Amino acid sequence: DTEVTQTPKHLVMGMTNKKSLKCEQHMGHRAMYWYKQKAKKPPELMFVYSYEKLSINESVPSRFSPECPNSSLLNLHLHALQPEDSALYLCASGRGNTDTQYFGPGTRLTVL
């Protein structure tokens, strides 16, 4: 099973709202990732968790707050976002060690 699931599929939020994106994988992967993707662009890495610890933060603004409650789950907490944060947010998982990353379907986020 190479499935990574993400919820919700779509999210519309105001700039004062607090919301969370959720990601789950049951492949036993040790690394989980958050990416942001704008239209017609490649995914941009935001965060990497390895063994449930944050190992990479690509200078992401603090209005994005990741959390890894356990080895299968990854959350992205959103607060006080800006309209330019509207994008497709992708979760991925992998074994690390420059191995394949498997992506979820993404959450389409719109900030009003």
Partner 1 sequence: GENVGLHLPTLSVQEGDNSIINCAYSNSASDYFIWYKQESGKGPQFIIDIRSNMDKRQGQRVTVLLNKTVKHLSLQIAATQPGDSAVYFCAEGPPQDDYKLSFGAGTTVTVRA
The 10 Å Cβ neighbour count of residue 78 is: 21
Nearer to partner 1, 79 or 108 (CB): 108
Name the site residues for partner 1 (rule: CB under 8 A).
Answer: 2, 4, 6, 31, 33, 40-43, 45, 48, 50, 55-56, 88, 90, 94, 96-106, 108
Instruction: Find the shortest distance in angstroms from Cβ 84 to partner 1.
Output: 20
Instruction: Find the shortest distance in angstroms from Cβ 106 to partner 1.
Output: 5
Distance CA 102, CA 94 (A): 6
As to burial, measured by CB atoms within 10 angstroms (0-12 exposed, 13-18 middle, 19+ buried), residue 25 is: buried
Give whole-number Cα distances, 67 to 21, 39, 50, 99, in Å: 10, 26, 12, 23
Nearer to partner 1, 16 or 98 (CB): 98
Nearer to partner 1, 31 or 78 (CB): 31
Nearer to partner 1, 14 or 51 (CB): 51
Instruction: Find the shortest distance in angstroms from Cβ 21 to partner 1.
Output: 13
Length of the chain: 112
